[in-house]
Amino acid sequence: GEDVEQSLFLSVREGDSSVINCTYTDSSSTYLYWYKQEPGAGLQLLTYIFSNMDMKQDQRLTVLLNKKDKHLSLRIADTQTGDSAIYFCAEEGGGYQKVTFGTGTKLQVIP
């Protein structure tokens, strides 16, 4: 079945860049996603990348996709304290609109 893996924790200093990594298993995924979960809230879509793209940039966010290695990364430039949250990698695969989530990476931004 599908499996999405992430490291559990990342700590960075305010102003530095954060890079959150993810590996996935379903090579037939159409979309790969990054969701953000703030404390006590549900998940919200942060950004996504279509499977035929290598990179997507959206303001401070850069998503890199290596399909050969099934590796997805999210880079946050100039990380701010408001970026502290749990970030989930997710892939759409394994059936109609079934989305599989990773374990989530908790990003701690140190002022």
The residues of the shown chain that bind another protein, judged by CB under 8 A, are 1, 4, 6, 8, 30-31, 33, 35, 40-45, 48, 88, 92, 96-104
Of 41 and 111, CB closest to another protein: 41
Nearest distance in Å: CB 54, another protein = 18
For the chain, the first-to-last Cα distance in angstroms comes to 40
DSSP annotation of 90 reads E
Nearest distance in Å: CB 16, another protein = 25
Q: Does the CA dihedral 53-102-106-12 come out positive or negative?
A: negative
Nearest distance in Å: CB 82, another protein = 19
CA 1 to chain centre: 20
